[in-house]
Amino acid sequence: MNATPALKRRSFFKLGIGSAIVLALAGGTMALMKPGLVDGKLSQPARLVMTRVAQAMLAGTLPADPAAQRQALDAVLQRTDAFFVGLPTHVLAELDQLLGLLASAPGRRFLVGLSTSWEEATAAETTAALKGMLESGTELRIQACQGLHDLVMVPYFSGKESWTVLGYPGPTAV
Amino acid sequence: MSNIPDPILQGLQRGWKVLGGKHGALPERLSCDVAIIGSGAGAGITAELLTKAGLNVVIVEEGPLKSSTDFKQLEPEAYASLYQENAGRKTKDKGITILQGRSVGGTTTVNWTSSFRTPPETLKFWQDRFGLKDYSVEALAPYFQQVQTRLNIEPWAVAPNENNELLRRGAAKLGIKAEVIPRNVKGCYNLGSCGMGCPTNAKQSMLVTTLPYALDRGATLLVETRVEKMVIEGSRVTALQCIAVKPNAAPAHPGGAVTTVVARHIVLAGGAINSPALLMRSKAPDPHQRLGSRTFLHPVAITTAVMAEPVQAWTGAPQSIYSDHFMHTQPVDGPMAFKLEVAPLHPVFFGANLPGFGESQAALFRQYPNAHVTLALMRDGFHPQSVGGKVELRSDGSPLLDYPLTDYVLEGARRAMLAMAQIQFEAGARMVYPGHELARGTSTWAETKAAIEALPMKPLLTRIGSAHVMGGCGMAADEKAGVTRPDGQHWQLENLSIHDGSIFPTSIGANPQLSIYGTVNRLAQGLAKRLTSKEVALA
């Protein structure tokens, strides 16, 4: 498979990160990276990443009640796995690498700018970090944030629960 | 349960020869007079004319055969089954998301029916810069007329939905002319679901017009089958090597069976991006390095408004009003021109295309019934700083378009957002959100104008889309300047024609389907004459 733009060494150097971390990640030690996808579905670490990202990106849209929110998030993650089935292999390869990178502590720190673990990150912390990616001026970070945005929004709006939030009545029967 | 008859199911029952996917195993080898690669706008017109001339035709389509029974007006299914890359095909730097079709009927199965002849200034540019002397308004007129008759293209006679009316109303307040869009529909139910496949067969796409014509006359259609490679010997294409592919475009049987199609003449009609990619995979001669370059997209800038009254942009004919005002406010090779239209809004399209995220977006989601999105289709390919993109191949042979967004294009996007926002405020907008990651919603024209003028118009931050792919196998009168001759034949390969949007030397400057139909109508009539000595016409 082709190296994705996300993993070009040149891009890492542009971020001004300590070379030890850069080499550890970009030097092919995939051992540091957890898998992003397993059997074409979100790995457990990737599920945690996407849960936190969805909580931030859908803040104010997901139900506030914790139990209802958990249910809504599970539905989004389920639809994310279903969404993967239709994606071309080159996109899946990129997502596998991106999610694996984000799930690892060094990747989370320098790509997202989040020092707290995903487990402990609050919606506010994650939101600030994601906004920072868009404002970073770094192509790699903006691409990554926009990729995450698609991965949250397409599965969320593919579900009929979103129609109630939107006020969409559904298609006209013919 | 719908009572609408499905013309594809009826055709299959009548004995249409369709193979691939669930329709039957692909044969090891097929012979025919003409093999047509793809089944979209150019392929359909070509198939009808060549079968009319008595030729034995095989059509090879990489997507599935889906029809009105399958079209449930639901985005997730539609995007997964009818579009390239799940409706998420992106340029190399991810700066532009491209909507392109991938099913029988090609992009005509999922387009929004807008039908415009090639603008005169575009044809003049082709005549002057590419030596295409026969591409005049007068010479092409009868071919366009035949298509308009054949596909029932007429200005939309029903009242525009509010989504479109707002464009007309806002523009009128500024003295900007907006007009009615001609549509290729017959008995349209005014649903607004064109982009998910027409569930009533009102849309006169290739799926329900020219392809049934050809299939009724004995053409063979292979579906879920991709031409991986043309076998080229000297100056001839001697065979097509085809494989079965899965819905996500991966090979169905890696390292497995290949179907060989042998034909006297090949018509390549896979569309821009795909057609150049196939020629590259086949190592087709390209002595002047023209192949894949000058690929154009009509890059689209957007602004989202929240109106005081409900818009309900999900319902009603999606596009019925347009304005070409900003196509003529500068010279043809000056600052970027743009055509204004609106977009239908269904949940995924609306939610996924809004920049930003979080609480402020949550408020906007709840305004969906009052949301209004204006589109500016920017006319690329006419200015020295607008050379479009270049097609490359990934290691698996799949196509990748490298289209860097230059300052020229991004300044065009800024001017377009200013024009659209002003029109939306004149139409009664309470808030306008420019399509840019760093833009906030603003509630007055003055604030919005200042905000747009201050935005850093950088790639990725400026949200750009595309629904029109053109060029990459451009026509030219001189072999050094193009891939395709003015009569549609490949400059170096004597039994290959290219009949799709990839032959356009620039972008069109209007929604391209009618340009493809009209141009290919003439090209295919010429081809039919060369192959059979018969004169055939579309209508």
What is the per-residue pLDDT for B147? 98
C-beta atoms of A167 and B361 within 8 A: no
CA atoms within 13 A on the CB side of B505: 26
**Residues whose CB is less than 8 angstroms from the CB of residue A150 and which lie 6 or more positions away in sequence, other chains included:** B88, B352
User: What share of chain B has pLDDT > 90, as a percent?
Assistant: 99
User: What share of chain B has pLDDT > 70, as a percent?
Assistant: 100
B75 close to A (CB below 8 A): yes
C-beta atoms of B347 and A153 within 8 A: no
Mean pLDDT, rounded, for B198-227? 98
What is the per-residue pLDDT for A110? 85
What is the per-residue pLDDT for A7? 41
Cβ(B372)–Cβ(B163) below 8 Å = yes
Closest CA to B339 of B319, B354, B356, B355: B319
Other CB atoms within a 10 A radius of the CB of residue A123 amount to: 18
Q: What is the largest CA-CA distance in chain B?
A: 67
Q: What distance in Å separates the CA atoms of residue B296 and residue B298, rounded to the nearest whole number?
A: 6
Mean pLDDT per 10-residue run, chain A (174 residues)? 41 36 48 83 97 98 96 98 96 92 90 95 96 94 96 97 97 96
Q: What are phi and psi of B504, to 5 degrees?
A: -70, 130
State the pTM of this model.
0.95
Given B85, B189, B351, which is nearest A174 (Cβ)?
Answer: B189
What is the per-residue pLDDT for A32? 61
What is the per-residue pLDDT for A31? 55
Distance (Å) from the alpha carbon of B136 to chain A's nearest alpha carbon: 41
Other CB atoms within a 10 A radius of the CB of residue B85 amount to: 21
First and final C-alpha spacing in chain B: 35
User: Following CA atoms A116, A142, B89, B340 in sequence, which dihedral angle do they give, to the nearest 10 degrees?
Assistant: 130
With cut-offs at 50, 70 and 90, classify the pLDDT of residue B211: very high
Task: Mutation target for A interface from B357, B392, B437, B455: give the one with most A CBs within 10 A.
Answer: B357
C-beta atoms of B73 and A172 within 8 A: yes
A142-155 per-residue burial string, b: 16 or more CB within 10 A, e: under 16: bbbbbbbbbbbbbb
Cβ(A69)–Cβ(A124) below 8 Å = no
What is the per-residue pLDDT for A10? 38
Mean pLDDT, rounded, for B463-489? 98
What is the per-residue pLDDT for B260? 98
- The torsion region of residue B463 among left (phi > 0), alpha (psi -120 to 50) and beta comes to beta
Closest CA to B445 of B427, B462, B463, B464: B427
* Model confidence pLDDT, tens digit, residues B31-66: 999 999 999 999 999 999 999 999 999 999 999 999
Q: Is the pLDDT of residue B308 over 50?
A: yes
Distance of CA B284 to the CA centre of its chain: 24
Mean pLDDT, rounded, for B229-248? 98
Closest CA to A150 of A99, A89, A74: A99
- Parallel, antiparallel, or unpaired: how do β-strands B96-98 and B89-90 relate? antiparallel
CA distances from B387 to B108, B292, B293, B297, B384 (A): 26, 12, 8, 11, 6
With cut-offs at 50, 70 and 90, classify the pLDDT of residue B386: very high
- Mean per-residue pLDDT over chain B, rounded: 97
Q: What distance in Å separates the CA atoms of residue B198 and residue B200, rounded to the nearest whole number?
A: 6
What is the per-residue pLDDT for A18? 36
C-beta atoms of A152 and B357 within 8 A: yes
What is the per-residue pLDDT for A106? 87
Helix (H), strand (E) at residue B497: strand B496-498
DSSP code for B26: P
Given A56, A135, A153, which is nearest B352 (Cβ)?
Answer: A153
- Go through the domains of chain B in sequence order and give each one's CATH number: 7-81+107-154+216-289+473-532 (3.50.50.60), 157-194+295-466 (3.30.410)
Instruction: Transcribe A49-73 into DSSP letters.
Output: HHHHHHHHHTTTTS-SSHHHHHHHH
Q: What distance in Å separates the CA atoms of residue B96 and residue B192, rounded to the nearest whole number?
A: 24
Chains A & B: contacts with CB separation below 8 Å: 132
C-beta atoms of B247 and A167 within 8 A: no
Which chain B residues are closer than 8 Å to A157 by Cβ?
75, 347-348, 350-352
